[in-house]
């Protein structure tokens, strides 16, 4: 796909064919896909909890599969290790591992089993306390901080994966021979919203004066 697109660009360029064979070989070496991911941070129990939690945050729907199917647990495990190396501190890793323990403690306390073994309804009961920072109880503050961080990692990992990018309305990263600016049909939608007002996710957006 990448190579074909690139060759299309080059084919369209008179006189530039000389480097067609070399161009697709980016000098920046791409790592070979690992056969099986080697965990760096999570132990077996944490690993199971991470899978459950990722898929509660981004479950499969009619557009794409779940976060774990897109390799988000692997992304998070790798990311924690990467940040530790880059930042020279295990602050993020500690926050995430501590948060997973917090989930287990809450689950054990309420349901007498660790979070990963609780029923989906029980799991959601805990998440509902920490997933909306604006309405969480003060005593759940630590769970809220953890969950916001974990959710961002899940979202970042999913939507930068092949599956996640395909899920979004992103049509770029390809050669366009004739740039025309904003699609007139899209602009017509914007104009109609400007004229008539728009009921956004966060409430009503007023029409243009």
Partner 1 sequence: MQIQPTPKTYDVVIVGSGAGGGVAAHVLALAGAKICMLEAGGWYDPSKQSAMFQWPYNAPHRGASTREKPFGYFDATLVGGWQVPGEPYTSAPGSDFRWWRARMLGGRTNHYGRISLRMGPYDFKPYSRDGKGFDWPITYEDLAPYYDKAEELIGVFGTAEGLENTPDGKFQPAPAPRGYERLIKRACDKLSIPCIPSRLAILTKPLNGRPACHYCAQCGRGCAVNANFNSPGVHIFPAMKTGNLDVRTGAMAREIVVGSDGLARGVSYIDKKTGRDETVYGKVVVLAASCCESARILLNSKSNLFPNGLANSSGLVGRYLMDTVGSSVSGYLPILEDLPAQNEDGVGGMHLYMPWWLYQQQKAGKMPFARGYHIEIGGGRDMPGASVFGGSERLLGGGYGLEFKRNLRKVFGCNIHFSGRGEMIPNDQSYCELDPNAVDQFGIPVLRFHFKWSDDEILQAKHMQETFQEIVTAAGGHVTLHSSAERNWGIAPGGQIIHEVGAARMGDNPKTSVLNQWCQAWDCKNLFLTDGAPFVSNADKNPTLTITALGWRTSEYIADQMKKRNLAG
- Judged by CB under 8 A, the chain residues 80 through 139 that form the site for partner 1 are 82, 86, 124, 127, 131-134
41, 50, 52, 79: residue in contact with partner 1 (rule CB under 8 A): 79
**H or E element, residue 174:** none
Q: What is the CA radius of gyration of the chain?
A: 23
109, 112, 121, 200: residue in contact with partner 1 (rule CB under 8 A): 200
Q: By the 8 A CB rule, do 49 and 104 touch?
A: yes
Please state the closest distance from residue 205 (CB atom) to partner 1, in A: 5
DSSP structure class, residue 117: G
Closer of 78 and 117 to partner 1 (Cβ): 78
Closer of 16 and 137 to partner 1 (Cβ): 16
What is the four-CA torsion angle of 62, 69, 46, 120, rounded to 10 degrees?
Answer: 20
Closer of 44 and 185 to partner 1 (Cβ): 185
Identify which of 107, 102, 83 has the alpha carbon closest to the alpha carbon of residue 141. 102
Closer of 22 and 139 to partner 1 (Cβ): 22
Subset of residues 12 to 71 that bind partner 1, contact rule: CB under 8 A = 12-16, 19, 22-23, 25-28, 30-31, 56-59, 61, 63
The half-sphere exposure of 52 on its side-chain side, counting CA atoms within 13 A, is: 21
9, 69, 92, 97: residue in contact with partner 1 (rule CB under 8 A): 9
Which one of the spans 37-45, 99-107, 109-117, 200-208 is the region binding partner 1 (CB under 8 A)? 200-208
37, 43, 168, 195: residue in contact with partner 1 (rule CB under 8 A): 168
CA separation, residue 157 to residues 31, 55, 94, 146, 167 (Å)? 18, 12, 19, 16, 13
Q: By the 8 A CB rule, do 198 and 208 touch?
A: no
Closer of 17 and 98 to partner 1 (Cβ): 17
120-130 and 44-57 are packed helices; what angle lies between their axes, rounded to 10 degrees?
80
């Amino acid at each position: 796909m990448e190579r074909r697109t690139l060759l299309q660009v080059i084919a369209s360029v008179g006189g530039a064919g000389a480097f067609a064979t070399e161009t697709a070989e980016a000098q920046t070496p791409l790592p070979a896909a690992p056969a099986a991911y080697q965990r760096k941070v999570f132990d077996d129990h944490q690993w199971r909890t991470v899978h459950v939690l990722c898929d509660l945050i981004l479950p499969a729907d009619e557009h794409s599969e779940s976060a774990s199917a897109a390799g988000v647990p692997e992304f998070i495990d790798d990311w924690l290790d990467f940040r530790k190396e880059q930042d020279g501190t295990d602050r993020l890793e500690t926050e995430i591992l501590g948060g997973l323990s917090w989930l287990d403690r809450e689950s054990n306390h309420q349901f007498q089993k660790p979070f990963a073994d609780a029923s989906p309804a029980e799991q959601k009961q805990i998440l509902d306390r920490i997933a909306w920072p604006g309405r969480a109880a003060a005593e759940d503050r630590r769970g809220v901080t953890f969950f916001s961080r974990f959710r961002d990692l899940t979202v970042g990992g999913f939507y930068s994966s092949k599956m996640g990018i395909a899920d979004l309305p992103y049509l770029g990263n390809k050669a366009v021979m004739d740039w025309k600016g904003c699609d007139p049909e899209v602009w017509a939608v914007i104009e109609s919203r400007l004229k008539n007002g728009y009921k956004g996710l966060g409430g009503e957006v007023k029409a243009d004066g």
